[in-house]
Amino acid sequence: MLLPPLSLYVHVPWCVRKCPYCDFNSHVAPDLLPEKSYLDALKADLDGQLASVQGRELVSIFIGGGTPSLLTGDFYAELLSYIQHHVACADDIEITLEANPGTVEHGSFQAYRQAGINRLSLGVQSFHDDQLKALGRIHGREVAVAAITSAQQAGFERINLDLMHGLPTQTLYQALSDLQLAIGLGVEQISWYQLTIEPNTVFYRDCPVLPEEDTLEAIDEQGKLILRETGFRQYEVSAYTRGEPCRHNMNYWEFGDYLAIGAGAHGKITSPEGRILRYQQTRMPEDYMKAMAKGLFPAALEVDAKLLPQEFFMNALRLKEGVPFRYYEERTGLKASDLEPMLRDIESGLLASSRERWVCTEHGYNFLNRLLQQLG
């Protein structure tokens, strides 16, 4: 079986404080972060997974959180050196670090660059101070702009900005001005997505006043027009680029494989026999570090073949240009021809196919959740 590309996800579970909209595995950081203990745990975690990926190389590494920029450049220099000495890496490997403008002293960008990180994803969310306060962010407009400029001066050419819209009491003008400022700062990629209220968050328990539906529609339509007119290409539901797409995210959407290390991290690996396995580490940082010190690793569970079609399309159809037929067969071990009865039953106009790939129509892309339910 032809194995898919392989990536590595590294999770850093700490933040200065928990944002009210966040449902990720993040925890308020102690006064003194246990960098040495966590680094040792990540190394042990990787060691425990090496046997499953012998002979394969990493195409990307993504360090997410939480707030990875709470940790030092020296931490990442040692971690990345360890990874590259134990796993084969592509010569042009993409290594991304998520960073919060409010936690990065500007000198740190140079240290991250020297450690081998070559792509940044900055969690700006908004450039309006009142919106940032409502979101519980610890930075303001001036800090965000200064951080972006400093990262560029440190030599980062590949910078992604995370921007939210549909924020509490946000107007159309505020949303579009956020987007226009981000574009004007010269970044290569923008992740632009609407705030969603997730269970187990402060906003879910005490929901703020959100914009009316007609305002949300206007933001979406006019924002997409601004992005197109300024040279940004949409390649995924919420991802726009003026250059190359994020390699790590593309591997997710194309149903590639990914190792995962860190508290709460979850991975997907295809065995040489074609079995697709998933696993997840324990979520609490202290429990995770203790487990890794004892060599206690989570059991990997095989994905039921009946669930693979929906898992595949749930990822692949997020891509604006769709997915090749051959990826389905290569990365699930299933036959594309077996899908024909199911695909014929899909509501007309949501999904199209050419001779080589499946792709959502523009209408289908706007109703992706409905389409995925029909594929389930």
List the beta bridge partners of residue 301: 278
Asked if 180 and 190 count as a contact pair (C-beta separation under 8 A), the reply is: no
Predicted TM-score (pTM) of this structure? 0.95
Rounded percentage of the chain residues whose pLDDT exceeds 90:
81
Question: What are the sequence ranges of the domains in the chain?
Answer: 6-252, 323-375
Q: What is the pLDDT of residues 135-145, one digit of tens each?
A: 989 998 999 99
Rounded to whole angstroms, how far apart are CA atoms 229 and 245? 18
Q: What is the pLDDT of residues 25-37, one digit of tens each?
A: 999 999 999 999 9
Asked if 55 and 234 count as a contact pair (C-beta separation under 8 A), the reply is: no
Q: What is the pLDDT of residues 325-372, one digit of tens each?
A: 899 999 999 988 888 777 776 767 888 877 788 888 888 888 888 887
Give pLDDT, residue 105: 67
Q: Which amino acid is at 334?
A: L
DSSP label at 246?
A: P
User: Thinking of the domain 6-252, which architecture would CATH place it in?
Assistant: Alpha-Beta Barrel (3.20)
Closest to 235 measured CA to CA, from 359, 350, 357? 359
Residues 209, 215, 219: CA angle, nearest 5 degrees: 115
Give pLDDT, residue 106: 56
| pLDDT higher than 80, residue 376 | no
